[in-house]
Amino acid sequence: MKQTEIQDTADLLKALGEFNRLSLVYRLCECPQPQNAMCLCDCCSVDASVVSRHLKTLAQAGILKLDKKGRERTYSLDRANVVNQLRALATKIETSL
């Protein structure tokens, strides 16, 4: 197993492994439409600047996609990517021997 692969996976899990960030992810789970940051603020009781940073962290980890359509800035889950990586890890743990 390459070190970089381990690091990449660790980065994804670390990004998900914080209460407020995971709350944001669950919140976005429920949204059929992409959401703007303010709309997401109410799911965790922290300052808007903190939400902004968490969203950035999640986006950098490939968990969220930032959609800049014209003047709107909205976030949505990159479901495929997150699901694939989680499943890949699960499968590896389950089957490698």
Partner DNA sequence: CATATATTTGCATTATTGCGCAAATATGTC
Partner DNA sequence: GACATATTTGCGCAATAATGCAAATATATG
Binding site for DNA (CB under 7 A): 14, 18-21, 36-38, 44-50, 52-57, 68, 70-73
Out of 18, 46, 48, 60, name the contact with a second copy by CB under 8 A: 18
Q: Is 9 a residue that touches a second copy (CB under 8 A)?
A: yes
Secondary structure E strands in the chain: 64-69, 72-77
Which residue, 70 or 80, has its beta carbon nearer to a second copy? Answer: 80
Which positions from 29 through 48 interact with a second copy, judged by CB under 8 A?
Answer: 29-30, 32
Q: How many residues does the chain have?
A: 97
Sign of the alpha-carbon dihedral angle for 96, 84, 29, 37: positive
Residue 67: name its binding partner from a second copy, DNA, none (Cβ under 5 to 8 Å by kind): none
How many residues bind a second copy (CB under 8 A)? The answer is: 34
Q: In angstroms, give the least distance from the CB of 49 to a second copy.
A: 21
**Phi then psi for 55, rounded to 5 degrees?**
-65, -40
CB 64 within 8 A of CB 31: no
Among the listed residues 48, 74, 58, 59, the one whose alpha carbon sits nearest the alpha carbon of residue 22 = 58
